[in-house]
Structure 1
Amino acid sequence: MPETSIAVLFPGQGAFYGRALADLRDEFPEVGPVLAEIGDAARPLLGDHAVEQLLAARTPDTEQLLRDAPEALQLAIYAVSTAAYGVLRARGLRPNVLVGHSLGEIAALVAAGAFSPAEGAEIVCHRSIALREAGSGGAGSGDAYMAAVGTDADRAQKLVDLVGDPLSGIAVENHDGQTVLSGRAEALDAIGRLAAVLKTDFARLQSPYAFHSPLLGPAAEKFAERIADIRQRPLRTAVHSPILGRAYEDGDRLTELLAGHFTTRVRFAGTVRELAAGGVSVFVESGALDALSRITGRVVATPVTTVPTLLPEAGGAALLRRALDRLALMGAVPVRAGGLATADQLRAALLSDVPAEDFEAFWDGRGGDVRAFAREAYLTYLGVRGDGRGGAKAKARGAVAGVGREALVRQLADIYAEALEYPVEVFEEGTDLEAELGVDSVKQTELLVRVGRRYELPPRPSDVRPAAYNTLGKIADLILASGGSV
């Protein structure tokens, strides 16, 4: 059993980038057979074209797939999450609970053993076909869509009530600064105008359908019919559903519940709070990008560790190897599972004269004590040392840390609001500068240079892209880590 309580998160809509599957396949050879199994299951339902894109050296990016092949995009999101979890499990990760976000619940149930990867692919394909056949709630038609509003669920519900459309409402509760709405275009357009008057952020989302709204009732019925004969197996890992508000049970008819997801709200924030209150301290995101990691950081008041596994700006699947290293140091996977170098490097640095097998046994039993000592020593090095040997960097870090991270984020919000001529209220810690506010990479680079001068940061390495610092929270962390000065 791991020393810490761990949840694995499986993302839904938007959790993809063009090289995600190729990155996984190139870095981890065992991913190839999993993708082939998923492709074989999907081919009779979606056709060769969708599967060829799934197995290509480079899959089209999210925008192109959403426009030209939304069914292939849904399958690709599922495939990334399933393949990434296969790597994590093969290297020893045994989480306490699995959590899926919307579409991600299918991957979570596959990870728990309720369905095989091929059966999960069939469910995803039937889901897409049912949506296409029903024809209602399609964002592409312009009659319906999904939108993120920059406020909590209570305030968002008041906006919905003012419009009074029974077919439109809250679809997802992500965190206190973001609630997702879904429904008819006319109603959401009206809510968008109200939000503008109230100076509340409102952004249309890239989603092929108005998920989690009554509009998808006909599609839910078709979906249930299509997957009724797929047999489930007992769950070997707990799966907590943000839609049901509880853990799945072996007595549940999973296919019926999955069909019901089309019209039911996702209460992700409440699920994360409940898990954290129950002792979960590490949240690993099994899928592309880091949306759920960022949301989790916004939801939980007490410190937790979030571990994304696949980011294009972090070297693609190479980040998954670094994630395994982090998990090994936490005691969440065997130290050797983080990569052959991990155990060797630790032993060489700490106990070079101890045989490898003895060191692994020692680390499994006492690694937590070593980590706690290292953390205490590091904090002493940063601020408590009185011998004057901490150096200029420690003093600079102390100067920034004295301001406080929250205050630093507020300072950055003022800087970005002035430069971009946006209301300061739209700049929250986790707001994506490009995806949510439309700030292009050239402008982001310019602003990072301005921030570097303001906080006296050292030059960024040439291989670090502005996309790596796409939120004020990440920029604040950069300043703190680089020893910036106020």
Structure 2
Amino acid sequence: MSLAFIFPGQGSQAVGMGAELAEAFASAREVFQEVDDALGQNLSRLMREGPEDQLTLTENAQPALMAVSLAVMRVLERDFSAGIGKAAFVAGHSLGEYSALAAAGALSLSDAARLLRVRGQAMQRALPVGAGAMASLIGPKTDVALAEEAAAEGAKFGVCVVANDNNQGNVVISGDKAAVGAAIEKAKALGARAILLNVSAPFHCPLMQPAADEMAEALASARIIAPAAPVVTNVTARPTLDPEAIRGLLVDQVTGRVRWRESMLWLAGEGGITRFAEAGSGKVLAGMAKRIAPDAAAVSLNSPADLETFAATV
């Protein structure tokens, strides 16, 4: 059975995430301490106790989600001998790509934490709060073609693009507030439902170019080595082992589309993956995997019991 580890993105955070792992495993506590030390912040306490509004801030949520994912991976490696060596590929949704790279050894844990702090802050300040918006287009008629048609209508009023092609029935658009509003009306006329997302900035669209410029500077000095397993990247939906390609694609990712549906289809097709394991907080990606690649198995690895059950099968 060919396995891919997949790593969640923003929106999967929740107060209390990682607490069970930290209580059960010293190796998880080590990860949380390393991230705290790298950031000079007691992020692990914020993850454990909240408040939720502080954890949800982009600059906190991004490194926090990565920390939980890497705690899962370190426990699998150290305590169950079921870590990255069992994977044919890794992939991560948006910020989860950093988790995937750190899990595969391309980035150090501390560098990933620091880069995600910069990324979160840069995305937050790329434009004033409230100037942009994101909306999830959902329903059985929703696909990327419908979303692109809706975004094209929105683009008459400002920047509006498809930001996340998650799966059939779930595509996210992003851009200027007025443009996204117009796109929502078009999407409804085309038979989709639309939900404005509670986000602080319009991610994965050209309005994030100032953040991409900041990330280019931060990534220029980051040490990136070849990952232990190929990383299927958001921008290309194809695998790479090339450190310099990874560096450039992480910059492109800030303004580019998250091609998650295409990535999963490639993994389940040409990649030969028959099992997806979502490492980290929540169960969003495992749910998507079941919709995109119904012939593959998909599990979420959150709790000590999840990890023990999974490790017994690989």
Do they fold alike, i.e. is TM over 0.5? yes
Match of 1:85 among 32, 56, 73: 73
C-alpha contact (below 8 Å) 2:146/2:190 kept by paired residues? no
Q: Distance in 1 between matches of 2:75 and 2:228?
A: 17
Q: Distance in 2 between matches of 1:164 and 1:232?
A: 37
C-alpha contact (below 8 Å) 1:242/1:267 kept by paired residues? yes
Deviation at 1:61, TM superposition (A): 5.8
Matched residue pairs, number? 305
Give the alignment of 1:360-375 within 5 angstroms: none
C-alpha contact (below 8 Å) 1:53/1:59 kept by paired residues? no
- The code of the aligned residue for 2:306 comes to R
Match of 1:72 among 60, 65, 87: 60
- Deviation per residue, 1:244-264 (Å, 9 max, x gap): 222123252433321221111
C-alpha contact (below 8 Å) 1:62/1:73 kept by paired residues? no
- Deviation per residue, 1:58-80 (Å, 9 max, x gap): 232655533xx431122211111
Match of 1:275 among 267, 273, 287: 267
- The code of the aligned residue for 1:100 comes to G
Deviation at 1:10, TM superposition (A): 0.5
C-alpha contact (below 8 Å) 2:275/2:298 kept by paired residues? yes
Match in the other structure for 1:232: 224
Q: Distance in 1 between matches of 2:51 and 2:290?
A: 27
- Deviation per residue, 1:454-473 (Å, 9 max, x gap): xxxxxxxxxxxxxxxxxxxx
SS at structure 1 position matched to 2:223: coil
- Deviation per residue, 1:263-321 (Å, 9 max, x gap): 111111111111111321110001111000001111114x21111012xxxxxx24xx2
Q: Distance in 1 between matches of 2:286 and 2:52?
A: 20
Which segment is superposed worse, 271-280 or 57-66? 57-66
Q: Is residue 37 of structure 1 aligned with residue 34 of structure 2?
A: yes
- The structure with the largest strand share of the pair is 2
Q: Is residue 249 of structure 1 aligned with residue 245 of structure 2?
A: no
Q: Distance in 2 between matches of 1:236 and 1:64?
A: 34
Q: Is residue 148 of structure 1 aligned with residue 136 of structure 2?
A: yes
Q: Is residue 293 of structure 1 aligned with residue 286 of structure 2?
A: yes
Match of 1:17 among 14, 19, 25: 14
- The structure with the largest helix share of the pair is 1
SS at structure 2 position matched to 1:58: helix
- The code of the aligned residue for 1:60 comes to G
Q: Distance in 2 between matches of 1:62 and 1:267?
A: 29
Match of 2:306 among 307, 319, 322: 322
Could you tell me which runs of 5 or more consecutive residues in structure 1 were left unpaired when the two chains were aligned: 44-50, 311-316, 333-486
| TM-score normalised per structure 1 | 0.60
C-alpha contact (below 8 Å) 1:14/1:62 kept by paired residues? no
C-alpha contact (below 8 Å) 1:53/1:60 kept by paired residues? no
**Whose Rg is larger?**
1
Deviation at 1:147, TM superposition (A): 1.2
Could you tell me which runs of 5 or more consecutive residues in structure 2 were left unpaired when the two chains were aligned: none
| TM-score normalised per structure 2 | 0.90
Match in the other structure for 1:163: 154
Match in the other structure for 1:447: none
In structure 2, the CA distance between the partners of 1:327 and 1:53, relative to structure 1 (3 Å rule), is closer
Match in the other structure for 1:451: none
Aligned-residue identity in percent? 29
Higher relative CO (Cα under 8 Å, sequence separation at least 6) belongs to 2
C-alpha contact (below 8 Å) 2:131/2:177 kept by paired residues? yes
RMSD value, Cα: 1.9
- The code of the aligned residue for 1:52 comes to N
